A = this chain, B = another copy of it.
Amino acid sequence: MSDDDQELGITESKTHNTGEWYAEVVRKAGLADYGPEGMSGFIVTRPRAYAVWERLQGFLDAKFKDTGVQNAYFPMFIPESYLEREKDIVEGFDPEVAWVDEAGNKELEERLAVRPTSESIITPYISQWVRSHRDLPLRVNQWCSVVRWEATETKPFFRTKEFLWQEGHTAHATREDAWAETMTRLDQYESVYDDLLAMPVLKGQKPDHDKFPGADTTTTVEALMPDGKSVQAGTSHHLGQSFAEAFDITYSDEDEEERVAHTTSWGLSWRALGALIMTHSDEQGLVLPHTVAPTQVVVVPIWQEDTKEDVLDYAEGVADDLDDAGIRVELDDRDERNPGFKFNEHELNGIPLRIEIGPHEVDDEELTLVHRPDGESVEVDREAVAETVRDQFDEIYAKLYATAEETLDDGVREADDRAEILGTLGQHGGYVKAPWCGDEACEEPIKEPMAAEIVMVPFDDEDPLADGDHEETCAMCDDAAERTAYFAKTY
């Protein structure tokens, strides 16, 4: 990145111009560039963003492996006939598919889809691998990229024609096992946000008309962005037996009876990066929690000619101590830049904690620590710096989480009729909870004028309207309310 780019700084307002502000942060903090000419909708993921993705991968992959998941890799292409086979049960992704027609200077006999998701190629193999109840549960996951040729405008990480994700696919002996799997993965997705990205999320399920095609139940974690829109931040599908029946996943049980398996699939994409960037960043640039920050601490020595040697020595010692403790630290001892420039640059790039060291700190055997998110500054003893820094990381994480939690808590409102839903969404954004009969038609009066939709309904056992023991009616029609619908605008 050239110095000129750095000096520009963020010019758009997060509050008033969220979209433009986001695009500016992504570009100026060196997170992503747009794809080449002729490839709108694609992005180049630069090292700073990719390093965050790697930490997310590491965190989630370890959870997967602790809970019986094995990684594998399936071909990136899927024969058209395989996608067709899936059509018996689902609509599929046809309109969004990219097709390979020619390869090796020859037209292909059967064209190949670039995978939009891999159920239709993975399930037939699971069918081959499962013979006996002893082969169950069978769990495979792959980290890969998928292509969906969406027509809508690109937003890096939120909406791109190619995106990175993981997709897990499992088979189980019973419906209950498959449901437990579905929830295990959803909980792990929640933990990514809660414990790694400093963001609370809502957990629930999609309304039936918005499920993954062919699924019994699609569960979701939803994150609220500062501009009041909801992001579908990870989904876990209980597929029931529809895929197992279509692709013939059967097993012999303990009594040698042939039975049909129950399957699940679940995915989380780099959209999580988009949600992370949008949630915490500000008008100085990127903000990251220490958990995923490529550089966690920057040490900036501040010297005059006569104090340079002492200050630099001291700063190097601090950086070495942190490095020895396994903290990702950078010492910015560049001669050609003044401290103010350095501060701005490291703020733009989202380093969570800055340590300033001048002659005063050297004399007093102290350090000045500055929190990236809010500029809070604390003076601490030089001794036990690694321990102190870890404590500060936790404080910064708690601050980020608290702010995001406040946004979410304040962002859930109630309404009882169409006008109130529309009014509340229009004024505040966020989620509006309303009693709902369960009919897709009753989403339309909100979706049509407002482009808001039902992003979630709580699970049965968490929804007071689900047991039927009440007098509530749907906010749109006169039928009895069967669920609480969460309306929101979405990315």
> Which one of A98-106, A220-228, A229-237 is at the interface?
A98-106
Interface residues on A, range: 35 or more
User: Cβ of A110: which chain B residues have Cβ within 8 Å of it?
Assistant: 38
A46 part of interface (Cβ distance < 8 Å): yes
Interface readout for A65-90 with B: 1 if CB under 8 Å, 0 if not? Answer: 00000111111111101100000000
Interface membership of A465, Cβ < 8 A:
no
List of B residues within 8 angstroms of A38 by Cβ:
79, 81, 109-110, 112
Which residues of B are found within 8 Å of A128, using beta-carbon distances?
33
Copies of this chain, tallied across the complex: 2
Among candidates B75, B81, B145, B161, residue contacting A162 with C-beta atoms closer than 8 Å: B75
Which residue of the partner chain B has the closest CB to A164? B73
**Are B98's CB and A103's CB within 8 A?**
yes
Within the assembled complex, what's the spacing in Å between the Cα atoms of A47 and B68?
12
Cβ of A95 under 8 Å from chain B: yes
1/0 contact trace for A122-150 toward B, CB 8 Å? 00110011011001000010001101011
A3 within 8 A of B: yes
Complex CA–CA separation, A125 to B43 (angstroms):
11
Given known pairs A33-B125, A102-B99, A121-B36, the reply for A77 and B162 (CB within 8 Å) is yes
Given A79-B37, A162-B76, also A2-B132 (CB < 8 A): yes
A97, CB-defined interface residue at 8 Å: yes
Is there contact, CB below 8 Å, between A82 and B3?
no
A157 to chain B, nearest CB (A): 11
Over the window 11-43 of chain A, the binary record of Cβ atoms lying under 8 Å from chain B Cβ atoms (1 yes, 0 no) is 000000000000000000000010111110011
Sample 26 A-B pairs with CB under 8 A, ordered by A number.
Answer: A1-B129, A3-B132, A4-B131, A33-B128, A36-B78, A36-B82, A38-B81, A38-B110, A38-B112, A39-B77, A43-B75, A44-B72, A44-B74, A44-B125, A45-B72, A47-B71, A47-B72, A51-B70, A51-B71, A53-B73, A77-B162, A94-B105, A98-B112, A99-B102, A101-B101, A103-B147
Residues on A lying within 8 angstroms of B by beta carbon are 1-4, 33, 35-39, 42-47, 50-51, 53-54, 70-79, 81-82, 94-105, 109-110, 112, 114, 121, 124-125, 128-129, 131-132, 135, 140, 144-145, 147, 149-151, 161-162, 164
Going nearest first, the 3 A-B pairs with the smallest beta carbon separation are A104-B149, A47-B70, A98-B103
A1-B129, A33-B125, A36-B124 known; 5 new pairs, CB 8 Å cut-off, are A3-B131, A73-B145, A95-B104, A98-B102, A104-B151
